[in-house]
Amino acid sequence: MADLLFERALITGGASGIGKATARLFAQEGAVVCIADIDAKGGQMVADEILVEGGLAIFVPCDVTSAQDCQNAVQQTVQEFDGIDILVNNAGIIRRASVVDTTEEEWDRVMAVNVKSVFLLGKYVVPHMVKEGGGAIINVSSGWGLVGGRNAASYCASKGAVVQLTRAMALDHGEHNIRVNCICPGDTDTPMLRDEAQQLGETEDAFLAEAADRPLQRVGTPEDIARAALYLASEASGFVTGTTLVVDGGGLAG
């Protein structure tokens, strides 16, 4: 059991994959959770699952590229839970293409979902955390935010920006006892990873087998990443801020 420093969480992209696993794990550890996602059906299903398991969760429809939607998600979390002190910026998309083959619209969409969302949610959450005396912000980047990857120009650029934005936020808000950290997952078995296979015209089995070529000889699970997020929201990481935690089965080790 983790000793959570904070207990009221807003998780974006919580309808599936890493976001879903994080929402369920946080709820199991005693947090109350707001799931924000553009997928209303999936998000409500996750909230319902948590309620059935004895936890407390709500779902808020949210397009994370919309300032109004982000502000609304924060407001509903605060109203429902009387505050907010954990933010997990998990929502993300990928476009597998070089700069030559990426359209301007695709570039803008990837940057909006992966980077602008972190800015918007931080903008509206931080003032509440300041009032509460602290909080934990966990931004989900990628191993490709630290090293380059082929045919993923917009994704690599966006995830590198998340790493740097994390550092900047940690510097700006540390004096308010707000810790801001970043997780860089390796290939993790989520709907987004399987969508990559389709974008590249590969079979899912072949793509996942190639992705497992790393020291631990497997791809990650959403629960692997959720446990890292739990650590960054817990007392165990009370002196950790501005850091980048790589969770990739050794993929970047060498």
Tell me the catalytic residues.
Answer: 155
For 13, the enclosing helix (H) or strand (E) is none
d(CA 35, CA 112): 19
Distance CA 1, CA 26 (A): 10
Tokens of 118: 């972190």
The DSSP secondary-structure symbol of 99 reads T
Angle at 16 between CA 10 and CA 18, to 5 degrees: 70
What letter does residue 14 receive in the DSSP assignment?
A: T
- Asked whether the beta carbons of 218 and 44 are under 8 A apart, the reply is no
Q: 117-132 vs 67-81: helix axis angle to the nearest 10?
A: 30
DSSP string, 157-218: HHHHHHHHHHHHHHHHHGGGTEEEEEEEE-SB-SHHHHHHHHHHT--HHHHHHHHT-STT-S
Phi, psi of 12 (to 5 degrees): -90, 155
Task: Round to whole Å and give the CA distance between 251 and 213.
Answer: 8
Do the beta carbons of residue 70 and residue 64 sit within 8 Å? yes
